[in-house]
């Protein structure tokens, strides 16, 4: 989230004429994130988030918008895209595809407890199962094909050691894909960006309540194990070193496993999937940092964080503890 395209109060008022969300009250830009333009939108019938898509096209958007609508209609804690008077859900502002979604309760937590990890993991498993029959198919657009195309665009900014790390892990991931082992993993629509700041909690720090999962705009059909690895690499680490914290990681895996049991193939490929998730965000953050798009409030993330995590994942011994401990009561 960021503000790449300015939206005036008059723009918002004209847009609301196409919806049944009430009259305009206020509009406030959101500075967090790096992909889309986002505003908090207050109207007489509720609080909403207004999103203008800076990269995704009208043709690509139905997957994301209808996935959120599908999940929300099934009772999952996701934003509900608002339906226009003409029964569509995508509008246009300044030639950019635009949607309005319900604003979810709660705040994200920078230092999640075991209780936060448990709730977030359970919710992820329920999202995966609820999305399994979603009829629209779209691949993860930041998957291995994108990494292969993007890596050459950032190597000029890297040292020799960094290039060696990137190239080695990328080639290992290509070899894993070509081996066919990934084809045996359960897959379906996945969030693919299940970071702490995309999950909201109400309640208290001691007794959190799930508020909801936001920002589905990197979602795609992907191996569900990748979604888990993305989350664990953010929720369950020592942030200064990137080291996995055993108690949080086991809490996450056990909580997920209790709802959607992990397969033996998933357990065997867990180390490689942690590397895949770290590589994806290292390359994307390198690209956003060194080749940014102009935005009024853009705050690019530091790519060295995921370089550190990737180095840790490549140097760690295979974590057999996950297989040994996962199913213990």
State residue 296's pLDDT score. 43
Q: Give me the residue spans of the domains in the chain.
A: 9-102, 114-325
What is the torsional sign of CA 15, 20, 26, 32? Answer: negative
State residue 316's pLDDT score. 74
> What is d(CA 112, CA 127) in angstroms, rounded to the nearest whole number?
20
Q: Does domain 9-102 have CATH number 3.60.10.10?
A: no
Token output for 32: 């967090």
Q: Name residues whose C-beta falls within 8 Å of residue 57's C-beta, 6 or more positions apart in sequence.
A: 97
State residue 294's pLDDT score. 63
Residue 39's H or E segment, with its range, is strand 37-43
Please choose, from the candidates 140, 154, 298, 166, the residue with its C-alpha nearest in 3D space to the C-alpha of residue 229: 140
Please choose, from the candidates 24, 70, 32, the residue with its C-alpha nearest in 3D space to the C-alpha of residue 51: 32
Digitized pLDDT (tens) for each residue of the chain, 329 residues in all: 467 889 999 999 999 999 999 999 999 998 765 678 999 999 999 999 999 999 889 988 999 999 999 999 999 999 999 999 999 999 999 999 999 999 999 999 999 999 999 999 999 999 999 999 999 999 999 999 999 999 999 999 999 999 999 999 999 999 999 999 999 999 999 999 999 999 999 999 899 999 999 999 999 999 999 999 999 999 999 999 999 999 999 999 999 999 999 999 999 999 999 999 999 999 999 999 998 866 544 566 889 999 999 999 998 765 555 666 665 54
Q: pTM (2 decimals)? A: 0.92
State residue 328's pLDDT score. 55
Q: Burial level of 316, CB count in 10 A (0-12/13-18/19+)? A: middle
State residue 322's pLDDT score. 60
Please choose, from the candidates 127, 179, 170, 177, the residue with its C-alpha nearest in 3D space to the C-alpha of residue 151: 170
DSSP state of 81: B
Token output for 170: 């990328």
Give the CATH number of domain 114-325: 3.90.1200.10
Establish whether domains 9-102 and 114-325 are of one fold: no
């Amino acid at each position: 989230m960021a503000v790449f395209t300015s939206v005036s109060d008059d723009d918002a008022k004209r847009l609301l004429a196409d919806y049944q969300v009430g009259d305009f009250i206020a509009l406030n830009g959101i500075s967090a994130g790096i992909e889309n333009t986002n505003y908090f939108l207050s109207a007489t019938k509720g609080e909403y988030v207004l999103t203008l898509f800076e990269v995704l096209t009208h043709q690509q958007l139905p997957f994301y918008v209808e996935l959120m609508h599908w999940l929300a209609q099934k009772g999952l804690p996701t934003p509900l895209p608002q339906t226009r008077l003409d029964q569509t859900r995508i509008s246009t502002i300044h030639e950019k595809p635009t949607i309005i979604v319900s604003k979810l309760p709660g705040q994200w937590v920078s230092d999640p407890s075991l209780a936060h990890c448990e709730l977030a993991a359970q919710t992820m498993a329920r999202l995966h199962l609820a999305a399994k029959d979603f009829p629209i198919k779209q691949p993860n657009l930041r998957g291995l094909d994108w990494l292969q195309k993007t890596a050459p665009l950032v190597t000029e900014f890297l040292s020799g050691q960094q290039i060696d790390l990137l190239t080695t892990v990328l080639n290992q991931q290509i070899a894993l894909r070509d081996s066919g082992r990934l084809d045996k993993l359960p897959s379906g629509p996945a969030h693919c960006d299940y970071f702490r700041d995309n999950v909201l909690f109400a309640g208290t720090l001691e007794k959190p309540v799930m508020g909801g999962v936001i920002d589905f705009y990197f979602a795609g059909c992907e191996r569900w194990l990748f979604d888990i690895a993305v989350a664990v690499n953010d929720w369950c680490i020592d942030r200064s070193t990137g080291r996995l914290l055993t108690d949080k990681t086991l809490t996450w895996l056990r909580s997920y496993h209790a709802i959607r049991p992990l397969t033996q193939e998933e357990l065997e490929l867990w180390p490689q999937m942690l590397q895949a998730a770290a590589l994806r965000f290292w390359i994307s953050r390198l690209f956003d940092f060194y080749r940014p798009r102009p935005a009024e409030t853009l705050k690019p993330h530091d790519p060295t964080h995921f370089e550190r995590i990737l180095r840790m994942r490549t140097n760690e011994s295979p974590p057999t503890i996950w297989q040994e401990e996962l199913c213990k009561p």
